[in-house]
Amino acid sequence: MKTNRGRVTQVMVALCFFYQWPASAHNEPLAAIQVAASNGLAQAQCELGLRYYTGAGVATNPAAALVWFQKAAAQGVARAQRDVGGMYYDGTGVTRDYARAAKWFRQAADQGDAPAQRSLGILYYQGTGLSRDSAKAVKWTQKAALQGDAAAQYNLAMCYAQGIGVDRNPAAADKWVRQAAARGDADAQYSLGLKYYSGSAGAVDYTAAAQWFRLAAGQGERHAQCALGVLYLNGQGVTPDPVVAIQWFRQAAESGNAKARDYLGACYLNGIGVTRDAAAAAKLFLKGAEQGSAVDQFTLGVLYARGQGVAQDSVAAVKWYRLAAEQGYARAQSDLGMMYADGDGVATNLTLALHWFRQAAAQGDARAQCALGAFYALGKGTAPDAAQAVKWFRQAGDQGEAQAQRNLGVAYFQGDGVARDTAAAVQWFRKAAEQGDALAQYNLAVCYADGLGVPKNPVEAVKWHRKAVEQTQVPYKLGFIHPNLDAQREPFVAHQPPG
């Protein structure tokens, strides 16, 4: 349900209906309106309040606007009653008072004013100015929705979707969100676009998603702007166009959309749709990092560790990794563990390295699981435990971590922490070798050369040995290599979900 200030009061202070005052009153000279208002004509009082509120032909003066709105409201003008309620809700020209806001909204709502009914529904939903009551929130929201108030229709859709004050009803939710979107509600249009993007509206339809995102984005809906940027970046429902994607990301980022800012940073970092500019990327990530985004703190740490867009500074890298790690961000925990293990930017501390590897590994981070396995295998920061090493190598290997697959192969080959099984060793060496791990390729060559866990095959032995030699320096004479337990840090990868 729309509850933020902008959405609650979107139409609370709006042009009044003119019953006795001409429809063209807002074009009348200010002097004429002032005379009519002073003579007690309610609609003129409402118009004069609007002039003072918006600064149309007169200096903006919220206090004066409230005075004239209240005069019209006292005469029963529903729009003025709603406007007074809006000003008390916002604290514009008067001390904020939710109870008084509710009082005036109710008076206007009782006269059938749809925006006031919607606003009253929001107050019941929030429990501001009156006791929270979801059923009454739905009651008033529905009254407004039935009159065609698009924002109320969207709020009602959310009530049905989330079971707020009514039983969950996806069909009813879909009905109301579509009505709201058709009437031009930007939030509803974005929501409908997401339905088509995810397939929750039926089959995935990127073209329809793009259409609804575009309508919402054109109204300044920042999430839709970001989502549309994603579609242009990926060529989903539209012709791929990184330049257009950048334009939408930039608009959304300037409106405060953090995900769009991250996409924009990633595009600058990788030269997608713009000239590669790591320094510009770093500035964007710094904004997010300073606002507490764990993703941006981690990314900034990576940039400092590499010296991309900023001067290389391992101490700064540790600082940003730590901030992200303390928020539970697994990749930062893993890299912080690496820094402690290597003594890079911080004094070597295997105990703290082990701590952070455990934190990340428990969240499923494959690199941390591999590193944790290495610590147990080598007895670094803890007593050697081959079984634990195998456990963590397997978890990482099952996720496709090549070094863990190679290390698990070594464990099977040597019978460390698991029953010796050269055939299983070959299987794990192959998994890692096919991903380009040079040492696994070399080990696989050894197995083929000596018939270890696989029939002898000189051709395969030469093939895998050549692949290994092409990547790194390995002994010319075939021999078994102890597992390399180093880990590499991942580069920043932009997020994929839209919005």
- The per-residue pLDDT for range 239-275, each reduced to its tens digit, is 999 999 999 999 999 999 999 999 999 999 999 999 9
* Residues 69-83, mean pLDDT to the nearest whole number: 96
Q: How far apart are the first and last CA of the chain?
A: 18
Measured CA to CA, the distance from residue 186 to residue 172 in angstroms comes to: 19
The whole-chain average pLDDT of the chain stands at 89
Measured CA to CA, the distance from residue 244 to residue 232 in angstroms comes to: 7
Say if residue 59 is exposed, middle or buried (CB neighbours under 10 Å; 0-12, 13-18, 19+). Answer: exposed
* Residues 64-71, mean pLDDT to the nearest whole number: 96
SS3 string, the chain, reads CCCCHHHHCCCCCCCCCCCCCCCCHHHCCHHHHHHHHHCCCHHHHHHHHHHHHHCCCCCCCHHHHHHHHHHHHHCCCHHHHHHHHHHHHHCCCCCCCHHHHHHHHHHHHHCCCHHHHHHHHHHHHHCCCCCCCHHHHHHHHHHHHHCCCHHHHHHHHHHHHHCCCCCCCHHHHHHHHHHHHHCCCHHHHHHHHHHHHHCCCCCCCHHHHHHHHHHHHHCCCHHHHHHHHHHHHHCCCCCCCHHHHHHHHHHHHHCCCHHHHHHHHHHHHHCCCCCCCHHHHHHHHHHHHHCCCHHHHHHHHHHHHHCCCCCCCHHHHHHHHHHHHCCCCHHHHHHHHHHHHHCCCCCCCHHHHHHHHHHHHHCCCHHHHHHHHHHHHHCCCCCCCHHHHHHHHHHHHHCCCHHHHHHHHHHHHHCCCCCCCHHHHHHHHHHHHHCCCHHHHHHHHHHHHHCCCCCCCHHHHHHHHHHHHHHCCCCCCCCCCCCCCCCCCCCCCCCCCCC
- The per-residue pLDDT for range 5-38, each reduced to its tens digit, is 333 333 222 222 223 344 455 567 899 999 999 9
Checking if the pLDDT of 377 tops 90, the result is yes
Q: At what angle do helices 330-342 and 366-378 cross, to 10 degrees?
A: 30
137 and 105 Cβ atoms separated by less than 8 Å: no
Confidence (pTM): 0.79
Ramachandran region of residue 381, left (φ > 0), alpha (ψ -120 to 50) or beta? left
Measured CA to CA, the distance from residue 479 to residue 462 in angstroms comes to: 13
pLDDT class for 1, splitting at 50, 70, 90?
low
Checking if the pLDDT of 491 tops 70, the result is no
Measured over the CA atoms of residue 96, residue 99, residue 100 and residue 103, the dihedral's sign is positive
Measured CA to CA, the distance from residue 90 to residue 98 in angstroms comes to: 9
Ordered domains of the chain (ranges, CATH) = 402-499 (1.25.40.10)
User: Quick one: pLDDT at residue 301?
Assistant: 97
User: Quick one: pLDDT at residue 473?
Assistant: 56
pLDDT class for 489, splitting at 50, 70, 90?
very low
pLDDT class for 201, splitting at 50, 70, 90?
confident
CA distances, 148 to each of 15, 70, 111 (Å): 17, 27, 16
